């Protein structure tokens, strides 16, 4: 299993905690008493959760200039026409993918092209499904200009548990469809804004895979 580089320190600290706790418990009470077994089970569970969270499995992205693929693993929780007020300042179709703490948290470019806008916004940590989380939570906004000239905006949004957003995009970068663009620690969501008239290929509550599932098809 491959693990994401953003998890190296957390995994190391969790392993250290695992060994310190269990060796310490054994030194205090040699053998396999109930307290030692409980400590072993709890620290193993914590280590398993951390390793699961930072896993980075390979994804098979099939490049297609018409497709907008999911930037994250999770569940589609929003499909609606909204006013996008930060960059486009007009109506767009918003598709939101919610990531639970058990999903893969690598974020990927939904289309290929050139990065035309990047901005980080400090903010609150409302639960990710709160209606105002898209505009008031800590978030990053990235816009990629498609070779056809169409621009697609996607936004990493922190939640009640997610306290760190990582993004690797800079204006002028060449975005590769399905390529890594960032990581959100401990659950949250990604919003994608596509032009009106775009064919939507997913439904509410559908489970999607980052880098593989097609969210929409450009007209």
Q: How many CB atoms lie within 10 A of CB 204?
A: 12
Tokens of 64: 């297609």
Q: Of these residues, 96, 134, 188, 213, which one is catalytic?
A: 188
pLDDT the model gives residue 120: 92
Domain borders along the chain are 5-53, 67-217
CATH for the stretch 67-217:
2.70.70.10
pLDDT the model gives residue 33: 84
pLDDT the model gives residue 109: 97
Output the pTM of the full model. Answer: 0.83
From first to last of its 219 residues, the chain has per-residue pLDDT tens of 788 888 888 899 999 999 999 988 888 888 778 888 888 899 999 999 888 888 888 899 999 999 999 999 999 999 999 999 999 999 999 999 998 878 888 999 999 999 999 999 886 656 655 556 566 678 899 999 998 999 999 999 886 555 578 899 999 999 999 999 998 876 688 999 999 999 999 999 999 999 999 999 997
DSSP secondary structure string for all residues of 102-147? TS--EEE-SS-EEEEEEEEE--B---TTSTTHHHHBSEEEEEEE-T
Is residue 213 flagged as an active site residue?
no
């Amino acid at each position: 299993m491959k693990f994401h580089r953003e998890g190296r320190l957390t995994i190391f600290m969790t392993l250290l905690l695992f060994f310190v706790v269990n060796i310490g418990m054994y030194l205090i009470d040699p053998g396999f008493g109930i307290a030692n077994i409980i400590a072993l089970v709890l620290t193993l569970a914590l280590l398993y959760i951390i390793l699961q969270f930072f896993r980075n499995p390979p994804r098979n992205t099939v490049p297609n200039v018409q497709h907008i693929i999911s930037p994250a693993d999770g569940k589609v929780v929003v499909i609606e026409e909204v006013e996008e007020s930060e960059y486009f300042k007009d109506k767009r179709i918003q598709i939101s993918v919610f990531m639970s703490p058990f999903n893969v948290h690598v974020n990927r470019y939904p289309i290929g092209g050139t990065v035309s806008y990047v901005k980080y916004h400090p903010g609150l940590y409302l639960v990710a499904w709160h209606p105002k989380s898209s505009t008031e939570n800590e978030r990053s906004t990235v816009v990629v200009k498609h070779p056809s000239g169409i621009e697609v905006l996607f936004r990493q949004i922190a939640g009640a548990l997610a306290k760190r957003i990582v993004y690797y995009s800079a204006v002028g970068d060449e975005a590769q469809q399905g390529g890594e663009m960032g990581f959100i620690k401990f659950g949250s969501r990604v919003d994608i804004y596509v032009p009106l008239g775009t064919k939507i290929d997913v439904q509410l509550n559908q489970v999607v895979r980052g880098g593989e599932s097609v969210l929409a098809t450009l007209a």
